[in-house]
Amino acid sequence: MGQLRIFAGGLCSALALSVPVPARAFTVAIAAGSQEIYLQVGVGGFSGTYIAGGTPGNNATINNVSVTVATTTVGNGTALAMATDSSVGASSYDGYVFCTPNVQLYIGGFYRRPGNGNTTATITATVPAALVDAAGDKISFAEISWTTGGNGDAGAEPFPAGTFVAGGSQVVGTMAHNTWNESCWTFSYKNSAVPPQGSYAGQVVYTMTAP
């Protein structure tokens, strides 16, 4: 019995030693941040790069994609590569040289929507029926196509290859929420039409829509 009393005393000592100081913890609150979308077609308005803390902004520049068709080859059905006046090659995400300037048109951006909703933003092209010259002559926008890709790229492109739907609205890409997406487009002119000589132009508007 005497031994048990000694044990009891030892147990109390052990308990006293196990709580010598007030235990604390520190807390860091994390917030998802606000919803944001950013779309860049050609020259964009990003200051710096995203991973370096850059911020998106507006840029009113409208880039051109163009080709000159020689008189002797007009309408021969041989597609012609189109050049762009966009000198953007670097990704606004990290500065990686992704596209070939003046050859490929950079298209990229992000859709940020924190939360567990599995949502997708859609990028739509609103396409006129035709390119028009000063005399009112027309070339269907369906004559223009694009391929897609980028330096060091792999897997499916967020902005796949396609052909303009003349006079329509078409989806040209999607972005899953909380992802950066980018592709490089190389345009070509189908050259199947035989229009009067002239300078033909038309403007496609790209719109990003997020839920």
Partner 1 sequence: MSRRRTPAPRPLRPIAAALLLACALTARSATTAIDDGATIVYTPTVTMGWQSRSPRAHSSTLMAGTTPVRVRLNVSPWLHRNGRIYLVLPAQQPGPIRASWTTQGRLLPGTLVSGTRALVYSGPITTPVMEDLIQLAIAVDGRQMDRVYNIDFRFEMDSN
Q: Could you give the CA distance from residue 131 to residue 200 in angstroms, rounded to a whole number?
A: 5
Q: Should residue 16 be labelled a site residue for partner 1 when binding is judged by CB under 8 A?
A: no
For residue 99, what are its two tokens? 């596209």
With CB under 8 A as the contact rule, the residue among 9, 48, 75, 115 that binds partner 1 is 115
Q: Should residue 38 be labelled a site residue for partner 1 when binding is judged by CB under 8 A?
A: no
In this chain, which stretch among 40-48, 62-70, 73-81, 153-161 interacts with partner 1, using CB under 8 A? 153-161
Count the residues of the shown chain that bind partner 1, applying the rule CB under 8 A.
50
Residue 17 phi/psi, 5-degree rounding, is -75, -25
Smallest distance, Å, CB 35 to partner 1? 12
Q: Could you give the CA distance from residue 119 to residue 211 in angstroms, rounded to a whole number?
A: 7
Q: Should residue 152 be labelled a site residue for partner 1 when binding is judged by CB under 8 A?
A: yes
For residue 128, what are its two tokens? 């006129």
Q: Return the SS3 of 178.
A: coil
Q: Should residue 153 be labelled a site residue for partner 1 when binding is judged by CB under 8 A?
A: yes
- Residue 20 or 77 with smaller CB distance to partner 1: 20
Q: Should residue 51 be labelled a site residue for partner 1 when binding is judged by CB under 8 A?
A: yes
Nearest alpha carbon to residue 75 among 193, 155, 165: 193
Nearest alpha carbon to residue 170 among 127, 129, 202, 120: 127
With CB under 8 A as the contact rule, the residue among 16, 23, 60, 135 that binds partner 1 is 23
Return the H-helix or E-strand segment holding 47. Answer: none
> Which residues contact partner 1 by CB under 8 A?
3-4, 7, 10-11, 14, 17-18, 20-33, 51, 91, 93-94, 96, 98, 108, 110, 112, 114-116, 118, 150, 152-158, 176-182
